[in-house]
Structure 1
Amino acid sequence: GEAVITSGFDLPAKYIIHAVGPIWCGGGLNEAQLLHDCYINSLRLALAYSCQSVAFPLISSGIYGYPKDQALQIAISAISEFLMHHEMMVYLVVYDKSAFALSEKLFSDIEKYIDDHYVEAHEIRKRRRELEPYEFQQMSDVQAVIVEKQPYVSMTVVKEKPALEDIVDQLDETFSQMLLRRIDEKGMTDIETYKRANIDRKLFSKIRSDKNYKPGKATAIAFAIALELDLDEALDLLGKAGYALSRSNKFDVIIQYFIDQGQYDIYEINQALFAFDQNLLGE
C-alpha cells in the first residue's frame, strides 16, 4: 500500500508515482485495504507535490491477479473518498470493458427496463407513422363534408397581443436559479453538490455566477442525481435547461431507471452507462 514519487523522466508527465499494489491471494490477506491504501497514499503524494491532475491504471488487476471488478470498486471508492475533501482531476485508465462488468442482476434489471420502455416508445412511434397518412385522409374527408354542409360565415376576433417586453419580463427561474434553490432546500453545500455530481469547481462557479448559464444535458442530469431528485423534480430541473428524458433514447431510459429505483450513486450510474455504450455523467 506504500507509494513514492519521482520525476517524470522522459515521459510526458511531471511526476511518476510508484505504488506497491497487493498480490491477489483470494481476498483473505487484507488485500482490499492494501489496495485502497495504494490509491490514498498516491493521491496524498500528488497533493503534496501540488499536482492538479493524476492518472491511475487499475492497480494490481494485471499480473498481480486482482479481480478487475473488485479492483475497480476499490479504486472508485478510494478516489471518491479523497475527492470529497480535496480538489484534483483524477483519471482512472481502464483498457477493456471487463472491469466494468455489472452484476448479473443489475444488468438484467436495466436491460428489462430498457426493453419495457425504450422498445415500447419505438413501437408507438412506428404505429404513429403508419396511422398518420390514414388519419390525414380521414380528417380531409370530414373537413370536406363540413365545408359542403355549412354556410359561409365570416367572423373576425380581435385580441390584444401582449408586448414582447411584457413576455420577457415574466420569465420563470433559470436552471442556475433553480439549482441553487434546490441545493438550499436539500441543506447541502455547494462543494458537496458538485462533487456528488462529478463536476469540477470551475464549472460550478460558472453556473453560480451566471444565472442564464445553460449546461450540457449530461451536466444537468448529474446535478439532478447529486440532489437525489425524484423523476418529476428531475424533469423540472432539466426543463429549465431546455432538456427532457425521452423513452426513445437509451441514455435517458437508463437515467430514468436509476431515478425510479432511488439509486443516486453517480459512479454506479456511470458504470451502467459505460456497459451499455452510452456517454457518462459529469466531467
Structure 2
Amino acid sequence: MTFDPHPSVVLSQEGGAVEYITPLEDKIEVISGLGIDYLLIVRFTSAFASLQPSEFVQQYLIDLNVRYVSAGFDFTYGKYGKGTMETLFEDGQGKLQVMTVPKFENNDEKVSSTRIRKLLREGRTEEIPGLLGRFYTTKGTVIHGEKRGRQLGFPTANIRLNNDYLVPKEGVYAVRMLVNNQWEKGVCNVGYKPTFHEPGQMELSIEIHLLQFDRSIYGEEVTIEWRLRIRDEQKFDHLEQLKGQILKDKQTAERFFQDDAK
C-alpha cells in the first residue's frame, strides 16, 4: 500500500510542489519488479489525513481482509500520526499479525528519504546506491534546445523531465542514458548555461553529450542514471575555454566509466 500524492502536499502549510525521488509511475514500475501481486494506491486527502488511527485500520486494513502487516519501525498512521507500530496490533483488534521492519543504518546513520534528498542536493550521486539500492534515475523526453552544443562540436540531447523529480545539484556529471533500450555513456550539464545567459534569463536545463553516439533521438523517452558529479557549472569568458573544458569533462567521464568497468 502506498499513498499519493506525497503526504506533505496535503499536510504542509507552505504549499508548493514536491520534488520526488521516485514519482508514482516509477514506484509502480519498481514494485512490480519485486514480484508484488497487488499495489493499493490510496489517495491522500485532508479527509484521509483526519481519520483516527482506529478508523484507518478498520477501513483500510480490516475491511480489506488484511491479515499480515509489515511496515517500518517509524511508520505512523491516523490523525496527527498518533498511530504507531506499537498500537497497530491493538487497533487491529487482534485480527492482524504485525511485523516491524527495524531501523536500517549506513555508516551509523539512518537510511531515509531525507538523507537521500540531502545527498542529491549536494550532488553526491555516487553515494546514492548504498542508500537507495540503485543509482538515482530520472525519466524524460528529448526535446529541441538552442543547438549550442552542436555548434561547439559536442552535440547534446536536451531533456525535459516527465515528472517533478528532485534534480541533483547544478554542475557537470558522468551519466548513463537509456535510449531505445540501450544504455549509453555520457556527460551531463545541469544548470543555466552562464556562459550564454545572464542569471534569471532561463529555466534550469539538462543537456547530455553521449560519448559514442551519433543519431537523432528527438522525441524519444529516455532514462538518466546519475553516476558521478565532475565539477560545478561555471561561466567562461571565451568559447575556446568552454570547448577545452568540455573536452576535459568528456575525458574525465571516459576514465570514470573505464575504471567502473574493471
**If the TM-score is normalised by the length of the shorter chain, which range does it land in?**
under 0.3
More strand by share: 2
TM (norm. structure 2) is 0.23
Structure with the largest fraction of helix: 1
TM, length-normalised to structure 1? 0.22
